[in-house]
Structure 1
Amino acid sequence: MHIHFGNERWNQAAAFALRYDVFVIEQGISLQDEFDELDTLTRDYFVVYEGTLAVATIRYQKKDHITIQPDRFCVRKNYRGKGIGKNLLLHLEDKALKDGYKFSLLSAEKTALSFYKSLKYSINSEEYLEDGIICVEMIKKLSS
């Protein structure tokens, strides 16, 4: 497996196809909610590939000048529980640190709280509904 980072159309297409499978088909999120105005031609995505198959992805976007906001993070169903998601998020955090960010702020599905807590994220909000799924905002101070 290897991780690719970039905004090439083929990499974006792989990220979108995986997000379609996980969020739209598996979780029932509408196409209009899943694919939003932040999916621009210049938006960068991390995609984990096994050969040519996209098995995990995360959108790389900034919240502000010191905060990265990882978004649209998913792992293909039969690849979950193998450390791929953890490795991908840590990879993103490493890049964010190198890019000068000090915090990572994300929207976490309530079912994934233990995953994020294991990576030192803390709950930063009350529960809220996002695309029909109960979520909380979580934050982490990045360090090398």
Structure 2
Amino acid sequence: MSSANMQTPTVGLMSAKIGLPVQKYRKSDDNQLNIKVQEVYFEEPIMKLIVESSKPARGAAAYIRMSVFVLERGIAFRDEFDDKDSDSMVYAVLFDDKVPVATCRFETYNDHTLKVGRVATLKEARGHGYGRKVVSALEDKAKQMGFTHSLIHSEMDAVKFYQRLGYEITSDVFYEDGVPCVVVEKDL
């Protein structure tokens, strides 16, 4: 068999996102399969952040919140999904390729104050700054709209996260949906 007749199809491309090497193979004259790594690369995930009121944004946010609050944390379905969830609600959703991984929703507290609500990041996506990205996206939108202040009802185990974003505790502990919380606030 001449080298002109050898085929060199590529295998292993479907997992390039997670860093598997791209490989090529060819059969030798003695019909042995020889595999050689031609190149190795790691593709950065395609991250997309949306801040909008739409059915797709609401659906993506609901997927994350169902996973985190209802299934992982055990919060009652009816408590998690309230009357504020509508197609007109603005959601920030961060996608890792096509998978929604982090979200929060925009509520108007008063004429100058944003209330960030329902902040959640999928368990397997934590530790990458995705929660910070969605909160910051809502803060940026609020500033564009003339808001000067932001507040969040923070669960106690999330207070340090919000403090790293510049929020300060401004209330005593209270219970929301059976979970101990405090109000955290900051100027935008």
Same fold (TM over 0.5): yes
1:68-93 Cα shifts (integer Å, max 9, x gaps): 00101100101111111112211211
Q: How does 1:7-18 map to 2 (within 5 A)?
A: 7-18=53-64
Alpha carbons 2:51, 2:138 under 8 Å: kept: no
Pair 1:132 & 2:178 matched: yes
The residue number in structure 2 matching 1:107 is 153
* CA distance in structure 2 between the aligned counterparts of 1:127 and 1:16, rounded to whole angstroms: 27
Which protein has the larger Cα radius of gyration, Structure 1 or Structure 2? 2
Aligned residues: 142
* CA distance in structure 2 between the aligned counterparts of 1:19 and 1:88, rounded to whole angstroms: 14
> Share of identical aligned residues, percent?
36
* Cα RMSD, aligned residues only: 0.9
1:43 pairs with 84, 89, 108, which one? Answer: 89
Give the TM-score of the pair, scaled to structure 1. 0.95
For structure 1, list consecutive stretches of 5 or more residues without a partner in the other structure: none
The residue number in structure 1 matching 2:77 is 31
Give the TM-score of the pair, scaled to structure 2. 0.73
Pair 1:120 & 2:166 matched: yes
The ranges of structure 1 where at least 4 consecutive aligned residues each deviate by more than 4 angstroms after the TM superposition are: none
* CA distance in structure 2 between the aligned counterparts of 1:98 and 1:90, rounded to whole angstroms: 12
* CA distance in structure 1 between the aligned counterparts of 2:89 and 2:127, rounded to whole angstroms: 28
For structure 2, list consecutive stretches of 5 or more residues without a partner in the other structure: 1-46
